């Protein structure tokens, strides 16, 4: 699907292990385009293998941006990622194709539709709200949200726990309802570009096999050393990098509380669950994007 515009972007989305990076690399080598990371965990330094970031050989074949540029001690928000992309756009030749590739649906949405740049919420406030709502029913959550942020409550079809927690935390930290930030949302930076969209959509059994093979390979090819390096930093366990799939599991193995086989199995299961959540997002929010198979062929 193409949208007429002055500049050109190729958006390659898909669940983890679906072959996105390989497709992006092939595209970049053919067009001379710039590959831009559109994945929330691949921005973090230290975790190249665990997050399946492109390797040095791939980076030598085409220019990559926003991979491994953020300290794992940082909570890198969607707003910060979007500002980084805007800076890249400003520094890139207008005739050069931008190839945005990753598995974070919210990033793709922000590129086109913009993003409500809500201030970062403190972990203490988040934990407080989470504790308050831990045993609440949907009706109780909605009633609380209606009392504190009626406009956001009106916009939500169901009182999804995570969305209610976020809305309440925003209101309690900033004194402003989440809806006020959403109302001030600016258009996405590539909204008026010529955009080619695609979602890689391999068969479930094929994807499951690729996920299992990938994590076994990670364990043998540097993931353990990466987690050791990360743990040596003594970071807050609630940080996104500390919760990246594979980090808790390998960490428990290193601490002697989990066997190697169990660590691999649990990380593989967690990756399957993550891929399922990604597919749900793409199905619901990118339903009109063309679906492609593993080799980039139309389905």
Tell me the per-residue pLDDT of 12-37, one tens digit each, with 9 for 90 and over.
999 999 999 999 999 999 999 999 99
Maximum Cα interatomic distance, the chain, rounded to a whole number of Å:
56
pLDDT digits (tens, 9 = 90+) for 256-286: 999 999 999 999 999 999 999 999 999 999 9
Where in the chain do CATH 3.40.50.300 domains reside?
8-116+186-202+283-292
Dihedrals phi, psi of 9, to nearest 5 degrees: -135, 145
Establish whether 94 is an annotated binding residue: no
Q: Known binder of ligand: residue 90?
A: no
C-alpha triplet 10, 51, 212: angle, nearest 5°: 100
> How confident is the model at residue 3, as a pLDDT?
43
Closest alpha carbon to 54 in 84, 89, 26, 78: 26
**Residue 210 near residue 17 (C-beta atoms within 8 A):** yes
Average pLDDT, the chain: 91
Q: Is 77 annotated as a binding residue?
A: no
Residue span(s) of the chain under CATH 1.10.20.140 come to 123-183
20 annotated as belonging to a binding site for a ligand: yes
Q: CATH 1.10.287.890: which residues of the chain? A: 204-275
Residues linked to residue 99 through DSSP beta bridges, in sequence order: 10, 35
- In percent, how much of the chain has pLDDT > 70? 97
- Just give the CATH number of 8-116+186-202+283-292: 3.40.50.300
Structure tokens at 42: 């691949």
Over residues 154-197, the pLDDT tens digits come to 888 777 788 899 899 999 999 999 988 888 777 899 999 999 99
Q: What is the pLDDT of residue 1?
A: 39
pTM of the model: 0.83
pLDDT of residue 299: 53
31 belongs to an annotated ligand binding site: no
The structural architecture, per CATH, of the domain 123-183 is Orthogonal Bundle (1.10)
Query: Is 14 annotated to bind ligand?
Result: yes
- Angstrom distance (rounded) from CA 270 to CA 150: 35
Instruction: Give the integer Cα–Cα distance in Å for 166 and 25.
Output: 36
Q: Is the pLDDT of residue 4 over 50?
A: no
Fold of 204-275: Helix Hairpins (1.10.287)
- Res 295: pLDDT: 57
Confidence of residue 298 (pLDDT cuts 50, 70, 90): low
Q: What is the pLDDT of residue 296?
A: 61
- Average pLDDT value for residue range 232-254: 95
Give the E-state strand segments of the chain in sequence order. Answer: 8-13, 34-37, 64-65, 98-102, 194-200, 291-292
Cβ proximity of 79 and 111 under 8 Å:
no
Is 21 annotated to bind ligand? yes
């Amino acid at each position: 699907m193409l949208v007429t515009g002055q500049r050109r972007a190729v958006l390659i989305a898909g669940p983890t292990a679906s072959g996105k990076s390989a497709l992006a690399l092939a595209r970049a080598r053919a067009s001379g385009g710039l590959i831009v990371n559109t994945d929330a965990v691949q921005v973090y330094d230290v975790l190249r293998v665990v997050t399946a970031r492109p390797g040095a050989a791939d980076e030598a074949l085409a220019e990559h941006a926003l991979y491994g540029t953020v300290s794992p001690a940082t909570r890198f928000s969607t707003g910060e990622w979007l500002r980084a992309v805007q800076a890249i756009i400003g520094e890139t030749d207008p005739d050069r194709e931008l190839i945005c590739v990753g598995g974070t649906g919210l990033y793709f949405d922000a590129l086109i539709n913009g993003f409500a740049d809500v201030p970062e919420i403190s972990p203490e406030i988040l934990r407080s709200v989470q504790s308050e709502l831990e045993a609440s029913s949907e009706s109780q959550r909605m009633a609380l949200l209606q009392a504190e942020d009626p406009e956001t409550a009106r916009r939500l079809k169901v009182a999804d726990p995570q969305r209610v927690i976020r809305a309440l935390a925003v209101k309690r930290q900033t004194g402003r309802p989440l809806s006020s930030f959403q109302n001030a949302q600016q258009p996405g930076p590539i909204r008026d570009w010529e955009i080619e969209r695609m979602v890689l959509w391999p068969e479930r059994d094929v994807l499951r096999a690729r996920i299992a093979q990938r994590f076994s390979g990670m364990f043998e090819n540097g993931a353990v050393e990466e987690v050791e390096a990360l743990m040596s930093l003594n970071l807050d366990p609630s940080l996104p990098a500390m919760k990246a799939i594979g980090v808790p599991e390998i960490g428990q193995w290193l601490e002697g509380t989990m066997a190697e086989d169990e660590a691999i199995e649990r990380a593989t299961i967690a990756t399957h669950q993550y891929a399922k959540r990604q597919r749900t997002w793409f199905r619901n929010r990118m339903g009109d994007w063309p679906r492609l198979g593993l080799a980039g062929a139309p389905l």
